[in-house]
Amino acid sequence: MSEESVEIPAGPEQVWAAITTDSGAWSFQVEVDDDTVHVRREPFAPDATATLTGWEPPRRFAYEDPTFATEYLITARDNGSCVLRVVNSLRVDGEGWDDIAEQAAKGWRMALEVLRVYATHFAGMPSARIDLMAPVNAPETARAQVGRQIFAELGIEGSACDGPLITGVVEHQGPYFALLRTTEAMFAISAFPMDAVTLSINVTGRVYGPDAEAVATRERPRWQDWLTELVDRIGKD
């Protein structure tokens, strides 16, 4: 079992909306249909279906599939913020599953940083997606090295990013994950095995505002070209 948490400067109702009805505005789209939960994960992984096991707005949302049981717990704070805890429990045993659980926990740590930025700066705004990924010809153990190359090419230096694709604030940076924000968008870029096996470069982008779809349509080919060229260079190194 893993447990990750984040404090968000928003009330429980706003956070509840972010993880349910507005989930696609920052991460995978989650759709609840009676007792079934659909998680739209393309292009990063196949879509998934789970069984709803908890629906207590705005406090608890839970579901389980054959591999994981996932529970969101929202606790209000006196200062008007709240804490979101995500408890992720592995439901299978056997060789290799511990590694998959560890990768899932790391994925949740990144996802909660994205949620914090969304709830702080973009909650409720119209949004459009720029979601891209490409496998890298490098072992999973090289992800920190690949991450450094990604950050250099994006123009990340300290708390600022000033590169050919994006100029903005670095909200979070780890060895293989960076979260960047502008006044109208945020991009999470990582070197991370989304399938827990194959290292890939992943771009999770959201553009916000009344012209979000038009901006995303314009920007998506630029990000795709950058990603294709970057993966090609890494493969030749």
pLDDT in tens, 63-118: 999 989 999 999 999 989 999 999 998 887 766 566 777 778 888 999 999 999 99
Q: Examine domains 2-121 and 127-236 and report if their fold is the same.
A: yes
Measured from the Cβ of residue 3, the count of other Cβ atoms closer than 10 Å reads 13
Do the beta carbons of residue 29 and residue 23 sit within 8 Å? yes
In Å, what is the CA distance from 207 to each residue of 2, 128, 149?
A: 31, 5, 24
Tell me what the mean pLDDT of segment 12-31 comes to. 96
pLDDT in tens, 23-44: 999 999 999 999 999 999 999 9
Do the beta carbons of residue 199 and residue 138 sit within 8 Å? yes
**What percent of the chain shows pLDDT beyond 90?**
81
Do the beta carbons of residue 5 and residue 85 sit within 8 Å? yes
Do the beta carbons of residue 66 and residue 50 sit within 8 Å? no
The yes/no answer on whether domain 127-236 falls in CATH 3.30.530.20 is yes
Q: Domain limits of the chain?
A: 2-121, 127-236
Share the mean pLDDT of the chain. 93
pLDDT at 107 (0 to 100): 86
Is residue 1 pLDDT above 90, yes or no?
no
Q: Could you tell me the fold of the domain covering 2-121?
A: Alpha-D-Glucose-1,6-Bisphosphate; Chain A, domain 4 (3.30.530)
Measured from the Cβ of residue 113, the count of other Cβ atoms closer than 10 Å reads 20
Tell me what the mean pLDDT of segment 192-212 comes to. 93
